[in-house]
Amino acid sequence: MSASSEVDCDPDITVSSSFSTCASGAQTSTLSLQNNESSAVYVKVEYKIDDGAYVTASANLTVASFATDTSITQSVSVGSTITWRITDSFTSSDF
């Protein structure tokens, strides 16, 4: 008899975003990345506006242990939609 279980060692980060007030027909979207781990987490951040292609905002952002990073922002025109895509790893540039 044998048994197997899948091991899940993905980083534990909390992702959220917020908008600033309207200025000149646009708002700034700020991405918040909260690292809930006792070691650094590396994050690739991409975004797209409406149905456009994804653009890399950060290829290898380091978020320190138990820290929150809010350095990634993007201006979004009124009426448009931003979609953020996050890939994380415990190893730098390993996406």
Q: What is the pLDDT of residues 35-66, one digit of tens each?
A: 999 999 999 999 999 999 999 999 999 999 99
Give the amino acid at 68.
Answer: T
Residues 6+ apart with CB under 8 A from 51: none
Report pLDDT for 37.
96
Report pLDDT for 35.
98
As a whole number, mean pLDDT of residues 62-83 equals 97
Asked if pLDDT for residue 6 goes beyond 80, the answer is no
Neighbour tally for 37: CB within 10 Å:
16
Asked if pLDDT for residue 74 goes beyond 90, the answer is yes
